[in-house]
Structure 1
Amino acid sequence: MSATPALTAPRRRGNTGIALSRRAGMVFVLPALILFAVFIAYPLFTALSYSFFGWTGILRGDFVGIENYVTLFTKLPYSEDIPNAFVHNILLFFGAMVFQNTVGLGLASLLHRLSRFKRFFQTMYTLPYLVSPLVIGYLWSLMLSPLFGPVNAVLRGIGLGELAQPWLGNPQTAIWVVVLVTAWQWIGFPVLLYGAALGGIPEEIDEAASLDGASAWQRFRSITLPMLVPAIGTVSVLTFIGAMEAFPIPYALGGSQGNPAGATDVLSLLFYRTAFESGSSNAIGTSSAIATLLFIFIFGISMLITMLLRRAERKLF
């Protein structure tokens, strides 16, 4: 019986140390939680509450339930603008995904094999990612100008003048310009992420498969690609969130109206127009409903993608 205090004392000291470490961890996490609550959580709940009320300018009126949400799908111009903008957001997501998971992965694989100038090329590919998207959009709008833009000038200079056209003035090409410019700016992120993931794959596995007679494509398909699933999942989720929230580049290339003729319109631009340019007396209620629906869609699909990718990871490993 006398040995019991001696045995329990270290355990108590260990529990005390764990409690202290948890408290210390909370102290370090607390500033981030405060910033999250003030700048993200509070605006989200505020927008949600605003969407259930009618508004006259900045004066809140009576509780209207889901009337603002019904307006979005039954009254013009929202019933036409929302499907149009939503399709463009989806095109932006799939276009960026294809570009980043092919060109981005290919560049990361090439850089992974380089022994010299690797850091230089990684920095060069990452530079657009560090520049403001609004600046990137305005620079590309100048480069694609049909009057003095260097893109059309180069096409004419190399004998391909028939391909020169008003890229941002043609509804059939404008949205694809937005897709390519967005994917080009963000290509540095998957290059870095895939490069880090490739560096974490043990070389012994690839060497063993090579000795067994596996070709380079077989090694990539059966070894490298499955081990890149976590990185692919991260790129997919972040690309989806970025595509659905896209605003600066579409705004810089097509203006707040999504010109030409709504060909570059996205949901964030629709929210901006409704809140600040519509002139509607109920602009706050309607725009809050758009923001709430956009958040619910992004959050739900992001969780679904994450769940499916984790299930795929468990099957592979």
Structure 2
Amino acid sequence: MSQAELQSIARAEPIRRQIRWHILVFLLPALVIYSAVMVLPLIETLRLSLFNVVDGQPAFVGLANFKVLFGDARWASDFWNALKNNFIFFVIHMLVQNPIGVALAALLSIPKLRFVGFYRTAIFLPTLLSFVIVGFIWKLILSPIWGVAPWMMDLVGMKSLFAPWLGRPGSALIAVSLISVWQYVGIPMMLIYAALLSIPDEVIEAAECDGVTGWSQFFKIKLPLILPAIGIISILTFVGNFNAFDLVYTVQGALAGPDGSTDILGTLLYRTFFGFQLQLGDRSMGATIATVMFLIILAGVSLYLFVIQRRMRRYQF
């Protein structure tokens, strides 16, 4: 290339890309709504947790509210009890809901299974129901007075095993957790089912040629391929359980009885912020509990994104 050509190329003006303003126009409504509904309330909650009312006026108190929440005898007992129950609530979902969802998805993905559409719809249907309906229906089913559970257990000779599970401190939290599992097991089932369907037929055929079939094929071939989907389900379960409130409130009320055995962070936040019966609402302490919930969820999500997800092997087909 000659010197003149090089100089002409150097003098050539760079190509300017046209700014696509229409993308910002389309994103603006969603950004405004999300900021108004999520971002601004979150910022205000974090700010409110650092203030308290002193002599009738809001005053900046720093981390004093957190010190009261963790150290004051009255507040600490309720908070640590709710946090413990929340962890139990989460563990039951992880150990019961998600394995059942994976097993159901594996069964539905069997090629020769008939009525797959009916089974899939029937299992996923409770997820679409209102938590109010689910809560009151299960209260009626498990009622020892007019519930159908004692009668149905009597039909199979197991009436002696029936107990007022929602009314006993030792079993109430497990009962509420299993009700939640029944309602939401369709979500992990559908996500895992979609992940199983995305596995290429060539991979399955190669495994069958090597003599790997049945459940051995699922555990050795399919399960490693759907681990990213299981990870997403696990973190969604974590976030959903530590944001839980509605089902516990519907089944056991704001006091989350009996004796606070089903009290979780969501119900504690409700009673603290808005007040209940003779208890007056405390906005600052309610915001403090909400901030702790946010930090717990943030820590769990960060652990998954920056530690666990990076170590997962993803397969590209």
With normalisation by structure 2, the TM-score equals 0.89
Q: CA deviation at 1:166?
A: 0.7
More helix by share: 1
Which residue number corresponds to residue 107 of structure 1? 104
Q: CA deviation at 1:30?
A: 1.9
1:80-114 deviation digits (Å, cap 9, x = unpaired): 11111111111111111222322111111111225
Which residue number corresponds to residue 300 of structure 2? 301
> Helix, strand or coil: the match of 2:192?
helix
2: distance between equivalents of 1:303 and 1:313?
A: 15
Question: Counterparts in 2 of 1:180-259, with a 5 A limit?
Answer: 180-259=178-257
Q: CA deviation at 1:213?
A: 2.4
Conserved 8 A contact 1:96-1:179: yes
Conserved 8 A contact 1:54-1:62: yes
Conserved 8 A contact 1:54-1:61: yes
1:106-162 deviation digits (Å, cap 9, x = unpaired): 111111225642222222211111122232112111111110111122112322121
Give the letter for the 2:210 counterpart.
D
Q: CA deviation at 1:300?
A: 1.5
Aligned residue among 51, 55, 65 for 1:68: 65
Question: Counterparts in 2 of 1:68-107, with a 5 A limit?
Answer: 68-107=65-104
Which residue number corresponds to residue 286 of structure 2? 287
> Helix, strand or coil: the match of 1:265?
coil
1:203-251 deviation digits (Å, cap 9, x = unpaired): 2112212211234333222221111112111101110011101101111
Aligned residue among 12, 15, 20 for 1:12: 15
Give the letter for the 1:85 counterpart.
A
Deviates more, 1:113-122 or 1:74-83: 113-122
2: distance between equivalents of 1:124 and 1:196?
A: 17
> Helix, strand or coil: the match of 1:113?
coil
Which residue number corresponds to residue 120 of structure 1? 118
Gaps in structure 1 of 5+ consecutive residues: none
1: distance between equivalents of 2:216 and 2:103?
A: 16
Which residue number corresponds to residue 310 of structure 1? 309
Q: CA deviation at 1:316?
A: 7.1
Conserved 8 A contact 2:225-2:314: no
> Helix, strand or coil: the match of 1:168?
helix
With normalisation by structure 1, the TM-score equals 0.89
Conserved 8 A contact 1:141-1:252: no
Which residue number corresponds to residue 172 of structure 2? 174
Conserved 8 A contact 1:233-1:306: no
Change (3 A) 1:43 1:195: same
2: distance between equivalents of 1:27 and 1:222?
A: 48
Change (3 A) 1:50 1:245: same
Give the letter for the 1:231 counterpart.
A
Which residue number corresponds to residue 35 of structure 1? 33
1: distance between equivalents of 2:280 and 2:54?
A: 5
> Helix, strand or coil: the match of 1:33?
helix
Give the letter for the 1:28 counterpart.
F
2: distance between equivalents of 1:55 and 1:191?
A: 48
2: distance between equivalents of 1:264 and 1:188?
A: 24
Give the letter for the 1:238 counterpart.
L
Give the letter for the 1:181 counterpart.
I
Q: Aligned residues, how many?
A: 309
Aligned residue among 47, 50, 57 for 1:49: 47
2: distance between equivalents of 1:283 and 1:73?
A: 16
Which residue number corresponds to residue 163 of structure 1? 161
Change (3 A) 1:237 1:205: same
> Helix, strand or coil: the match of 1:62?
strand
Give the letter for the 1:303 counterpart.
S
2: distance between equivalents of 1:209 and 1:243?
A: 38
1: distance between equivalents of 2:306 and 2:132?
A: 33
Conserved 8 A contact 1:55-1:281: no
